A and B are shown apart, each in its own frame.
Chain A
Amino acid sequence: NLNAAFFSSEWLKNVDGLYPLEVSEDWLDGKYERKALLAIQPRSIPDDEFNPLEYGLLVEVSLGSRVFKNTKEQLALQDEGITDESWYYVAMTMPTIVLFACVAMYFFLYLSKDTRDVSDVKRYALGQKRRVLGKLKDMKKFKGMKNHAYNELPTYRKNSKQS
């Protein structure tokens, strides 16, 4: 019924055939967008007999995108040297904190270089890197392998052309 309508225009002259619909934020009921049925009721149909689905159109009411641009007023203020630089402080805060932490860390490490003992960590790390496998002859797989002793390579007397 008509009580469900969140907007109703006044009675309009049908001969105009036109109505400028200005979308209000109140229609959204706090939402970003909302589907709505646009219906037209002729004077000849009483309110209780009116069926909005008979001659209705489905439309979407939306808050729309808000594009933040410099308005003429803001540009005029900038021309006069009045700027809102709060965003600048926010943008610079995080890199400054990181830089300060890096410098503090450097000095801390520099000052504690003589009293620092990380040998256990170093040993463990190197142990992980160079794992001792043992001698080749102790390995089951290579037990039967004959490891020949080193022999000198044969040498030959050079002929006259080679020298």
Chain B
Amino acid sequence: YVPVKKPKHTTTTTEVPKPWLRTISSTIKEIVTPTVIAGVTFSAKPLETPDPLQPWISLKKDGTPQTIKPEIKKGRTVKASPDYSTYFKTAYTTTYSYEDLQAHNMDADEHLEEEVFVDEDSTYISLNPVIRCTPDTYFKKGIARDISSEPFCTPRENSVLKVDHTYFVTWYTRFFRDEVTEETIDQVRLHLFAVKEKAHDKGFKR
């Protein structure tokens, strides 16, 4: 005799995140409507007092979200939200002359070329709590695992996507660039194509 285990009573909220107002570009006001997709709230209103241990959303190999809560252990932050290095920054080369710098170890006709990284416009990026795809998180695909998955990070190859589940497809936003202007492409589209399988590709008998 096995007693029936009843699921624990969980408190769920039916409260819909309310729209909020923000000011972008110092003058333009915008109403932001939060949306909840697969349990992840996008465009949520930032906290009044920023929390350094604010949970963030990571993605499993198949693209399902999982919440990561940063912790402080021995004075160091563990599982902190990811650092994207310079992947989303724009590099500019600035040339300084001797007149600009007046450095004591610089000749009068010498020029200094310095690479400066400028952060991207975070107007819309900041509303996304999910980990972003960078070339660091590419994986290897193919039978020999020798082909880069660029521009995708999730889902991994041969992931099983189950019906009625939501999976986040992520790609590196700066992968597609205009050949002439070198600017990032504005819009992309995803497609799913049917693959013709051979008998031995169809897997095990069930």
Contacts and interface: CB of A to CB of B under 8 A. Distances in A.
Given A57-B149, A59-B159, A21 B185 contact: no
A157 to B, nearest CB: 80
Interface residues of B, number: 54
B2 interface: no
Given A14-B185, A59-B155, A60-B158, A20 B38 contact: yes
A55 interface: yes
B37 A20 contact: yes
Contact of A16 (B161, B166, B173, B197): B173
Question: Which of B159, B166, B172, B187 is packed against the most chain A CB atoms within 10 Å?
Answer: B187
Contacts of B151: 40, 55
Nearest to B149: A57
Interface in B175-192: 176, 178-179, 184-192
Contact of B125 (A15, A20, A40): A15
Contact of A14 (B6, B162, B188, B203): B188
B187 A37 contact: no
A57 B195 CA distance: 11
A8 B194 CA distance: 12
B158 A59 contact: yes
B100 interface: no
Interface stretch (A24-32, A97-105, A142-150): A24-32
B157 A57 contact: yes
B168 A21 contact: yes
Nearest to A60: B160
A57 B6 contact: no
B162 A18 contact: no
B125 A19 contact: no
B86 interface: no
B60 to A, nearest CB: 14
A9 interface: yes
Contacts of A57: 141, 149, 152, 155, 157
A72 interface: yes
Contacts of B185: 14, 42-44
Interface in A33-54: 33-44, 52
A32 B115 CA distance: 54
A25 B161 CA distance: 11
Contacts of B194: 4, 6, 29, 34-37
A6 B193 contact: yes
B138 to A, nearest CB: 11
Nearest to B162: A64
26 contacts: A2-B191, A5-B191, A5-B193, A7-B190, A7-B192, A8-B191, A12-B190, A13-B186, A14-B173, A14-B187, A15-B124, A16-B128, A17-B132, A18-B170, A21-B161, A23-B163, A34-B195, A38-B192, A39-B192, A40-B189, A59-B155, A59-B160, A61-B192, A62-B160, A62-B161, A63-B162
Given A7-B192, A21-B167, A40-B152, 13 more contacts: A4-B193, A5-B191, A9-B189, A13-B124, A20-B168, A22-B165, A34-B194, A35-B195, A38-B155, A42-B185, A52-B193, A59-B158, A60-B161
